[in-house]
A and B are shown apart, each in its own frame.
Chain A
Amino acid sequence: MTLPSPTAAAAPPASPAAPAGADERLRSVGAWRRLLGRPESGALSGAVLVFALFGFAAGGSGMFSAEGMVNWGTVAAFLGVIAVGAALLMVAGEFDLSIGSMIGFAGMLLAVPCLYWGWPVWLATLFALVMACALGALNGWLVVRTGLPSFIVTLAFYFVLRGLSLALSVMMTGKTILSSNGALVLADMVAADPVVHALFQGHVLTGLFDRLAHAGLIAARDDGTALAIGVPKVIVWWLALTAAGAFVLARMRIGNWILAVGGDPVAAKNVGIPVGRVKIALFMLTAVCAALFAVLQVADAGSAAADRGLQKEFEAIIAAVIGGCLLTGGYGSVIGAALGALIFGVVQIGIGYTSIDNNWYRVFLGGMLLVAVLFNNFVRRRVALGRR
């Protein structure tokens, strides 16, 4: 048994919490606690949980093969594209309930000019994106100008845009699902347009997938090419938008403004931040994300339909909330929203790989939403703000 040396005993008692020179009132918090304090911690643990769950329940079913991953990755990516806009808007303290209707409307704005007005596909795509931008600006302008809750204003657009999609497409084409008009076939037109095809249609890394199939690492067809063709371009869009959104929120000046506008609009105004312009810009971004979803969907499916995008506004909001966005604004994460979309995709598609009935996926998501909100509230109070 060793006795403590006299010098050690005589030394001033070192504080276990604070290193020398630091403030004695600053408790050192561990890496684990710091990680927990980030807004996306709930979504990250949720994603780990969901992967563990499905790894256990559907591990041997092909869900985690290349084509299985492309399957749920695509579902997650489509949702993830709109979740980026929804999350940033929610951090700024507003909602957009017209996202789903905007998807249907933008799809029509792309298909009708192509099939009936003789426009080239690239021009119709640009038209759909610009119109969405303008409608988003109108949404935002109304919210800022009237001071009404965005819930009400965008609920109005939820109905207006859906109604317009149906009524105008019937009026102009007599149909609500557009894939061809006489000799014009939408899928062929998109494939023939070099710009739209390159940006929105098909897959990337197809060569890599084929080589992996040749090497026997992933499943191959009879002709030796990979069963999973490649990574769909929507996944690339999702990752790029998420990275850009996260960068803007964390690192750029406008990111600080978005946090301030959502955290306390009066305070933001008092320090000279253009609160109205920030909000309008984010409504525009959300609408453009919805239009991008529509363009990617039309390019993928080869058709547009007036009833596309049903309930997508709720899914986008759920992804953002699971991702740690505070409903009242001022706190949240774009990466969290991407993880929320990932959870969505894994659960929605993964459940088909198990023996569980498909309808349970909604029950699971509803429960997940509730647990995520409670967990996020807990984390924010206990870890971020250190309260009980």
Chain B
Amino acid sequence: MASDLILQLENVSKFFGPVIALSDVTLRLARGEVHCLLGDNGAGKSTLIKMLAGVYVPDAGQYLVDGAPVRFRSQREALDAGIATVYQDLALVPLMSVARNFFMGREPVRKLFGALPVMDHGLAERTAAAKLAEMGIRVRDAGQLVGNMSGGEKQCLAIARAIHFGAQVLILDEPTAALGVKQSVNVLTLIARARARGISVIFITHNVNHAYPIGDRFTLLNRGQSMGTHAKSAVSKEAVLDMMAGGAEMKTLMRDLDGVTI
């Protein structure tokens, strides 16, 4: 049973002084699923992400990877365990090239004249272009600056980079929040491709139209507590919308505004 779960948070809590950021939350991520994490601002999503990413250590409860308890002291340790987080800021530098960004911090090195270690720019550009193409992203030129790319392309680049460097678990923090319709579809397609490769995904979003088609299970956070996890087979889109922040308010709004549906 435990081996089906790649990542577990069992009854974890996190306190910041008097503030209870998370209280007795349980989240179980199955291997190869897309698990949507829903919740309004202040629900504790950020704290949960940072706990998974190794930034925070839970004050109570257990964090298990592959069924074994872990205690990450840094993001680097979580990364080494195959847990990669793509934050909203994406960790991309606009004035650096696609290839330089792709390999930032993990640059391929070759020996110049057999002695001097230099960055292998040729390999970096070829690999970055090939890996992005593999994920269905066409870069025009791996030497172009990231600042020239669209929001969706940047998001895809950050995800493809995480996958290339061996991520088994991808934590995506609102990857579609700032994107247009077509670009959002591209990112959702990429998430589906990642799942097809056996990668487990935690997908944080506000948008039920993005969460429902791609999600296998849904967990709702509200004011630092988990409101439970539901499989897609057990809930309708409307029920997910209800679970999401403002679901009830949206219903009231739709009743007031005649003929509006989501």
Task: Give chain A's interface residues, CB within 8 Å of chain B.
Answer: 23, 25-26, 251-253, 255-257, 259-260, 263-264, 266-268, 270-273, 326, 330-331, 380, 384-386
Contacts and interface: CB of A to CB of B under 8 A. Distances in A.
Contact of A264 (B91, B106, B140): B91
Interface in B90-134: 90-96, 100, 103-107, 109, 112, 117-119, 121
Nearest to A273: B105
A271 B148 contact: no
A267 B92 contact: yes
Contacts of B140: 23, 25-26
Contacts of B92: 264, 267
23 contacts: A23-B138, A23-B141, A251-B112, A251-B119, A252-B118, A255-B119, A256-B103, A256-B119, A259-B95, A260-B93, A263-B93, A263-B94, A266-B89, A267-B89, A268-B93, A270-B87, A270-B91, A271-B106, A272-B75, A272-B76, A272-B106, A273-B105, A386-B148
Given A253-B117, A260-B100, A266-B89, 13 more contacts: A23-B141, A25-B138, A256-B100, A256-B104, A259-B96, A266-B91, A268-B105, A272-B76, A272-B106, A273-B104, A273-B105, A384-B95, A386-B148
A255 B107 CA distance: 10
Which 5 pairs across A and B sit closest by C-beta, in order of nearness?
A263-B93, A271-B105, A267-B91, A26-B140, A270-B91
B105 A263 contact: no
Contacts, number: 86
Chain B interface size, under 10 / 10 to 19 / 20 to 34 / 35 or more: 20 to 34
- Most chain A CB within a 10 A radius of its CB, from B93, B96, B141, B145: B93
B79 A260 contact: no
A253 B87 contact: no
A179 to B, nearest CB: 42
A264 B138 CA distance: 25
A243 B181 CA distance: 48
Nearest to A386: B148
A240 B48 CA distance: 51
B173 to A, nearest CB: 12
Nearest to A25: B140
B154 to A, nearest CB: 12
- The listed residue with most B CB atoms (<10 A of its CB), out of A251, A253, A271, is A271
A332 B109 CA distance: 23
A28 to B, nearest CB: 10
B67 interface: no
A331 B96 CA distance: 8
Q: What's the dominant secondary structure at chain B's contact region?
A: loop
B147 interface: yes
B117 A330 contact: no
A382 to B, nearest CB: 12
A263 B95 CA distance: 7
A331 B104 contact: no
B105 A257 contact: yes
Contacts of B95: 259, 263, 326, 330-331, 380, 384-385
Nearest to A247: B118
Q: Which of B76, B104, B117 has the most CB of A within 10 A?
A: B104
B250 to A, nearest CB: 34
Given A23-B138, A272-B79, A252 B93 contact: no
Contacts of B79: 272
A384 B117 contact: no
B118 A330 contact: no
B98 to A, nearest CB: 12
A386 B91 CA distance: 21
A380 to B, nearest CB: 8
A272 B93 contact: no
